[in-house]
A and B are shown apart, each in its own frame.
Chain A
Amino acid sequence: MNIDTGRVLRAAVFAAWAIFFAYLRISGDMTRYLGPRTYWVVTFGAVALGGAAIAHVATLRTQTEPRRPTRAEMASVATLLIPIVGVLMIPSAELGALAASRKLSSAGGGEVGAFAPAAPDPDGDISFAEIQYANESEEYAAQAGVVEGTPIRLTGFVTHAADAPGEGFDLTRFYVSCCAADALPFSVRIGPSIGLAPLENDWLEVQGRVARDESGFYVQAQDISEVPEPAVPYLY
């Protein structure tokens, strides 16, 4: 009875991916890569890949001469492990100002804005999307309650940082549907305030009131504090 080295190799890769998916699920790190719509994929991946690994381990022994793994198979193994190696190299990667600048849906006077939903939730919180939608539609602004003087609290990261202390900047948050590849940035302009000069990608909590000028709605900050990146970095 021989052990098939090719199957050992395949079982190891299945197991590596199953462990990686299980880690994403247990640690909660899947929120960095996926939206809630596709969280189930991680559970399915951990279980199914784990099952495939077990099935391979159960059939490692062969009566025949085991076939040697070819160079192509070794290359396949290496290629399939690249994403896991990438995560080990950069374990806490995040989408920031650079990613926002590359995306088509830009906010607050960008060239392409997001469409405003027909019926906002009148009892819902006002957040990045509501402010941006309100800039596109007066009707939506009225329905969503985006009016001057409304108190607001936003947590996001800085894009278009101020050139000098006290100047305004943009606060941005990504909205994700399925995974980070479909993330869309929504930004809100934070008006000149309090002599602060936050840097790009700094995570801030801004409390203030909705204000409006010729460019549209923005937030006049009353209090700005630096905060750590939220456990769930995206909005949905």
Chain B
Amino acid sequence: MASSSPTVMLRRPAGNLLLGGMVVIVATLVAAARLAGIGRSALAETFVLIFTSIVVEALPFVLLGALVSAGIAVLVPNRAFERLARLPLPLQVPGAALGGLAFPVCECGSVPVARRLISRGMHPAAGLAFMLASPIMNPIVLASTWIAYQGRGLALQMVLGRAGLGLLLAMVAGWAIGGEGARDILRARPDDEHPAPATPTSPGDRIRAFTDHLAADFYFMGKFVVIGSALAAALQAVVPQTLLSGVARTPVLGALALMALAFLLSLCSEADAFVAVSFVQFPIGSQLAFLVFGPVVDAKLAFLYGATFRRRFVVKLVVVAAPIVLAGSLWFEVLMR
């Protein structure tokens, strides 16, 4: 109900009390942790450093994705999406996957954009193809792959292998998982119940609608990036990666091991090539598996997907992605020999 009173008032004393309580609790926790010397524990230090570094690196990309998503929501008219939705699916899916070439953000940014595209009318198969392709095929990722493998004389092969297998995976997974309607694939969000005006007209309304969409996406995705990063950091701090080196020489087991490692590490796709190239005792095909599987499925993304899509999306994605990546990496190995 609109208030006619010009008086500025805070409506939520209970909320303010809660907020104040939170600040006091956090301040007490910080002081207690410092006094208890928690920072002297190597495990705690390793966890906090890796956790913070993943979040610090990922959060601006989440914001970038939320900015693009808010722009799509507020600035792109409905008729543009209606025209897009009328395109035949066999054209939408590869077109959307190739669209990843023009979207230079990693996986954290592509999820909110894909969600927005699907909710605005793009076919889910095409939206998923875009979401899965852009972290693998964007120019920054392909350039970093080139630079990382240049020293081994495999730059062109790895870039083509990564882009080709990534494109194939995105299209197949999009078709296989996104065949249903948007309502069947997207999880409803609380802010969906309070949408901003669909077509804000005044500049003030537009700014307000834009910031509403931006904040909704940032908050929603951001919290799952934080939770996923905590899991990835805990795995890095606790699990010795040398457990995997025993299977390094076997192509099939090597690929599976590096796919598991990619899930565990949750690296940004713009950096993972520099890590993959150091796994010299693993076959080159296994390294490709690491580079294609990681940007599509990892610990951090599992939380993001779980919150964005309906139940069992992650399971379906793993069931589709793992065999494609495994088979593709083995064929890459065959071709490289």
Q: Which A residues have a C-beta under 8 Å from some C-beta of B?
A: 1-3, 5, 7, 9-10, 13-14, 17, 21, 24, 30, 32-35, 37-38, 41-42, 44-45, 48-49, 52, 55-56, 58-59, 61, 63-70, 72-83, 85-99, 101-106, 110-115, 117-119, 136, 177-182, 184, 201
Residues in B with CB closer than 8 Å to A114 are 278, 280
Given contacts A64-B2, A79-B226, A86-B51, contact A113 B11 (CB under 8 A): no
CB < 8 Å neighbour of A34 from B56, B204, B248: B56
Given the known interface contacts A96-B42, A181-B232, the answer about A87 and B48 at a Cβ–Cβ threshold of 8 Å is yes
Asked if B151 CB lies within 8 Å of chain A CBs, one says yes
In the assembled complex, B187 has its CB within 8 A of some CB on chain A: no
CB-defined contacts of B210 to chain A, threshold 8 Å? 55
A117 to B154, CA, bound (A): 12
**Interface size of B as a range:** 35 or more
Q: Which residue of A lies closest to B44 (CB)?
A: A90
Which residues of the other chain, B, contact A101 by a CB distance below 8 angstroms? 240
**Minimum C-beta distance from B274 to chain A (A):** 4
Contact check: which of A34, A68, A118 meets B57 at CB < 8 Å? A34
Set of chain B residues within 8 Å of A13, measured between Cβ atoms: 219
Contact B49 A32 (CB under 8 A): yes
Residue with the greatest number of chain A CB neighbours at <10 A, chosen from B215, B222, B281 = B215
CB–CB A86/B9 < 8 A: no
| Interface stretch (choices B29-37, B160-168, B325-333) | B29-37
Query: Given A2-B11, A82-B226, A93-B44, 9 more contacts at CB 8 Å?
Result: A5-B10, A21-B56, A59-B207, A89-B30, A89-B39, A104-B261, A112-B281, A117-B151, A179-B268
**Residues of B close to A118: CB separation below 8 A:** 151-153
Report the stretch among B14-22, B96-104, B112-120 that lies at the interface: B14-22
Across the interface, which residues of A come within 8 angstroms of B177, CB to CB?
Answer: none
Taking CB atoms and an 8 Å cut-off, the chain B residues in 218-277 that contact chain A are 218-220, 222-223, 226-227, 229-230, 232-233, 236-242, 244-245, 248, 261, 265-268, 270-272, 274-275, 277
Docked Cα-Cα span, A55 to B152, in Å, equals: 48
Q: Chain A residues with Cβ under 8 A from B122's Cβ?
A: none
Establish whether residues A102 and B241, one from each chain, have CB atoms under 8 Å apart when the complex forms: yes
Interface status of B78 (Cβ within 8 A of chain A): no
CB distance from A222 to the nearest CB of B (A): 30
In the bound complex, CA of A17 to CA of B19 (Å):
17
Query: Which residues of the partner chain A approach B223 to less than 8 Å between Cβ atoms?
Result: 75-76, 79-80
- Kindly state whether residue B45 has any CB partner on chain A within 8 Å: yes
Asked if residues A64 and B1 are in contact (CB atoms below 8 Å), the reply is yes
Interface assignment of B60: CB less than 8 Å from any CB of chain A: yes
Tell me which residues across on chain B come within 8 A of A94, comparing CB atoms: 45, 49
